[in-house]
Every structure is written in C-alpha cells, then in structure tokens.
Structure 1
Amino acid sequence: MDQSFIRVAAVQMDCLLGNKQKNLERAYALIKKAVRQGAQFIVVPELFNTAYRVEDDDVELAEAIPGTTTDWMVETAKEFNIVLVGCILEQGESRGIVYDTSLLVTHEGIKGKYRKTSLWDQEKVRFAIGDDFPVVDLGWGKVGMQICYEIGFPEGARILALKGADILVYPSAFGKARFYAWDLATRSRALENGCFLIASNRVGTEKGETTFAGRSRITNPKGEILSEAGEDNEVILADIDLKEVAKQRREIPYLRDLNKKLVFGHFN
C-alpha cells in the first residue's frame, strides 16, 4: 500500500464474556465481510476477544504479546493482506499486572502497541496505566492509537498528530448512556488535528447493566462523518485520501499555530 487512497473499515460487534474462541470467530466473519468489500485497513473493538465486563477474570484472560490472540491477528492480516488494529487484555511484565492494550499488525507481524493511558471508572482498579504515545509508520501513512474513553481527551490525539499521525484509531467499548460525548468527540478529534478517525465500537449489553452505544464511525479531517453504523453487528467502510490531511491542515492550521511551548510547558 503506497497510494494515498485506501479503503478503511470499522468492525462493530457484540461479544461473549470470556469466550475467546467464539469472539475470534465472530471477528473473523466480520473482517472477512469487510475484505470482500475491499477493505485494506480494519479496526475491531476494545477487548474484542474477551468482551469488556470480565473484571473478575482479567488476570486469567490477559495474554502476553506476542501471544495467542496477537498470533491470530497476524495470521488474519496475512490471509487477507490487510492492516488490522485490535485491543486486548495484556499481561504486564510483573505478575498480576494487566494493561488495556491496542495493537496494529500487518502480514509482517506486530508493528505497534499502545497501552491505554486514560482509564475510565473501574478500569483504574483493573488496569495499569501506559506511558507512551507511539505513532506507527506504515510507509503510505502514519497511525496513532487511542482507546475508547480517550476519545474525550484532546491531549493524546494532539500529541499523536504532532508526531505525524494521519489516521487516529479508537477501538472502543463506549457506553450508550454517554453517546452524546461520542457524537461530539469523534468529530472534534478529527477536526482539531486534521486527521482521519476510525472509531470501532461495541454493541450489546453485558451483565445486564452495561449497554454499548454502537454507532461506530469513520470521520474525515474536516470532522465530517463518512460512514456510521447503527446499533447491531455491522461493518462500515469508507474510501479515504490521505492528501486531504495536508489540505485540511493548511485550511485551518491548528497544528501550525499551536503554541507548543506555552501549552505543554505548563505540564513539564
């Protein structure tokens, strides 16, 4: 992939609590559906292999990286010749430590890993906090990863854009009760950074109390929604032209005009 045009997809899916085999089967079917429609870059939701509300089993379900699920991701990327982004429970270096971690893989293997830095509610008890904002250079474009709740934090997205990201990806398990935040943030993060944004969300209800919003989105650098899902298992696609990134950043030069010393100097 060395062209500026690329077809991207977000996989929106329900998951079964703790059932990795069934969840990977579901993800595979939806990925295959996206590939049949020409997708070259595909994002699946947060904790797509385990489901989200598995807090009692985080340690047992967490995997080393590389590990079983990341091997599956790489093999899937090889089979379909795609770039695949997904988010899993990662075993930390120390026993009992778990991270909420997003990965980007290609047919060549794992190209990037990001550990969630802004944790929602009980995630502060479940997970350790990441400490880096990597950007993955794929040759044809650069990708920055965030996860779910972080779509409401401009800082991470801005750091990634300043590091060169053209595309921001958000594997998510975002709740329906706060859809109003998702609605604004999925457009705002794209506009203020002049990036394409792919937000892949969960659907369904877990433990009878956590209902996910769905409404996965692909957004252009102007903050316009190119494609949006409903509230069922679904695949959405869009053709993007990375030349629009530079064009929008000249149209409204937020990154150029940002006083980085003033803004970031307050946090040193």
Structure 2
Amino acid sequence: MSTIRIAAVAAHFGRDLEFDLARIATLIKKARKEGAGLLVLPDAALGGYLADLRDPAPDGLPPALDPDDPLIHRVAALAAEMVVCVGYCEDAGGAGRYNAAVCVSGDGVLGRHRKVHLPAGEVTAYLPGDRFDAFDTPVGRIGMLIDYDKTFPESARSLALDGAQVLACLSAWPTSITDSAPRMTHDRQAKLFDLYDQARAAENQVVLASSNQTGAMGGMRFLGQAKVVGPGGDVLARTWSKAGLAIAETDLAAELDRARRVLHHLGERRPDAYRETAP
C-alpha cells in the first residue's frame, strides 16, 4: 500500500469500559469517514490511566484485562479494514499487571507492546516490559511506544532498526505535576512531549503518530496534543490541547526514501564508536 491517511487521537477515557468502547467506536467511525487507514488511540483507552502518579492506590487501579479479552476482540471487529492501536491495562496472570498496547484489525491482533520504561509512580502499579518489536500490518511496518518509552532514544531506534516505518506513540501524558504552569503553552511537560515526538521522528527518519489523553483523572490534567510527524521532524497535523483527530496523508515508502536519500541516519551509524548501553 502506498499513500495512507494516519489519524492520531486526543480524547478522554475513564474506568467505565463500555463507555470507553463506545467512544472508541465513535472515533473509528470518524476516522473511517476521513479515509484513515491507521488510527492510534491513547494509552489506557480501555479503562483509563492511574488516578495518582505519586502514590497509586491498589484499589484505584484500572481494570486489568486478559490479553485475549473479549473487549479487545470487539475493538478488532470495529476496526474491520482499518489498523487500530489501543492502550489498556494487561493482567499478568496473578504476577501483577502491565501498561500495554495492542494493534488490531478485523483480522485480529497484529502486534503487542508492554511499556518498558516506567516513571516513578508507575513502578508500584505495573511490571515493566522487556522488548521493542516492530510488526507488519496492511498499512506498513509499525512499532509501538507507550508514553515514557519515547523519552529514551533507544526505544524508537530499536524499532526503526527493526524496520518500523511508523512509530505509534500511545500516551496518557499529564501536565507537570511538580512544576505547574498557569498556561499549557508554558508547561514543561507539554514542551517535552512535543520535543520527543519531533526528535524521535527526525532522528530515525520515520513517520510518528502520537496520541494522548485529554481531560483529568484524579489530580492529573492530560495534555492532548495528538499529532502526526513526518520523517524530517515536521508536524503534519495536530490537535493542540483539544480533543479530536490529527490526520495526515502520506506515502510512507516515498517519504522515507526522500528523507534518507542524502543523509541516512540508520545506515550512517557508527556502533563501534558508541558506549555499550548494557548496564
């Protein structure tokens, strides 16, 4: 497939799973009407995010779903011919839970990811994932990241080296908890969110679709700022802080070839000159 339309979502999701599923159905319908082939929903779109990052209460955590939960199959059925990435809380079979994402179409599950990098508040609520894998889909080869993962360049680079053409970054990214600003445009986390999106796309010369939650959960206020970023780091579409869809049309193969024609970052690396990343 050559030219595709990519949609990244900014929207609010909470604990009511049926409400979340209905909102997902509405967003899929809107994206389909706009001709989108890929829709990237936020982290924790099924069940909502943590209500408190400083001290998550065990009885206030999102509902944990089995990787084969009927709700995931219902999202796949809604996706039909589209490719849809969605975040949820995954039951680790009694060992705990993962902050997870799954990519589906009407044919079933295409790929999965468990969040690897956990910020301080999440370590008491989730287990860390341990790998980054790209996977093939009808719209191209995709790799998924879950919010804090994109802070680390190695995450996106691992996926790009695995052939990912699109990075789907699913987030529940709040405004700064420790240093609040009177306006969203002055918020430290808002600036970092945009910076990471553009840097990860440009340094790997890939297309990046960044979704995020909006609204509030507990004491947190989410940024929104969903966007699609081109392989040169240019923002092709965005929602700013409001709920909605950021939609951009791109010819993946042509855009990546164009970006890499003169300077090919992945091919020009010098691994022998870098310090080993293992601890």
Q: TM over 0.5, yes or no?
A: yes
Partner of residue 20, structure 2: 23
The structural deviation recorded for 1:251 is 2.9
Partner of residue 78, structure 2: 76
* Cα distance in 1 between the residues matched to 2:172 and 2:247: 19
Q: Does 1:7 align with 2:5?
A: yes
TM-score, normalised by the number of residues in structure 2: 0.89
Which amino acid in the other structure matches residue 74 of structure 1? Answer: A
Change in CA separation of 1:266 and 1:47 when aligned onto 2, cut-off 3 Å: closer
Partner of residue 62, structure 1: 64
Partner of residue 237, structure 1: 247
Gaps of 5+ in 1: none
Change in CA separation of 1:92 and 1:108 when aligned onto 2, cut-off 3 Å: same
Alignment of 1:144-159 (within 5 A): 144-159=143-158
The structural deviation recorded for 1:264 is 6.4
Which amino acid in the other structure matches residue 163 of structure 2? Answer: G
TM-score, normalised by the number of residues in structure 1: 0.92
Which one of 33, 37, 41 corresponds to residue 36 of structure 1?
33
* Cα distance in 1 between the residues matched to 2:6 and 2:47: 24
- Number of equivalent positions: 261
* Cα distance in 2 between the residues matched to 1:143 and 1:167: 5
Partner of residue 206, structure 1: 217
Partner of residue 134, structure 1: 133
Q: By percentage of residues, which structure has more helix?
A: 1
Alignment of 1:165-204 (within 5 A): 165-177=164-176, 178-204=189-215
The structural deviation recorded for 1:106 is 1.4
**8 Å Cα contact 2:171/2:213 also seen in 1:** yes
Q: Deviations over 1:213-263 (max 9, x none)?
A: 111110000000000102222112110111211221233221111122443
Partner of residue 52, structure 1: 49
Which amino acid in the other structure matches residue 89 of structure 1? Answer: C
* Cα distance in 2 between the residues matched to 1:57 and 1:261: 48
Which amino acid in the other structure matches residue 211 of structure 1? Answer: R
Relative to structure 2, which stretch is displaced further, 145-154 or 53-62?
53-62
Q: Deviations over 1:141-179 (max 9, x none)?
A: 210110111221110100110111100011101112311
Change in CA separation of 1:249 and 1:67 when aligned onto 2, cut-off 3 Å: same
* Cα distance in 1 between the residues matched to 2:29 and 2:59: 29
Which one of 232, 235, 239 corresponds to residue 225 of structure 1?
235
Overall identity of the aligned pairs, in %: 29
* Cα distance in 1 between the residues matched to 2:85 and 2:34: 18
> Could you say what secondary structure the match of 1:256 adopts?
coil
> Could you say what secondary structure the match of 2:4 adopts?
strand
Which one of 236, 249, 254 corresponds to residue 260 of structure 2?
249
* Cα distance in 2 between the residues matched to 1:262 and 1:144: 26
* Cα distance in 1 between the residues matched to 2:19 and 2:233: 35
Change in CA separation of 1:259 and 1:107 when aligned onto 2, cut-off 3 Å: same
Q: Deviations over 1:79-123 (max 9, x none)?
A: xx1000011000114x04100111111111001111100012211
Gaps of 5+ in 2: 177-188
Kindly report the root-mean-square deviation, in angstroms, between the aligned alpha carbons of the 2 structures.
1.7
> Could you say what secondary structure the match of 1:52 adopts?
coil
* Cα distance in 1 between the residues matched to 2:193 and 2:269: 25
The structural deviation recorded for 1:26 is 1.4
Which amino acid in the other structure matches residue 101 of structure 2? Answer: S
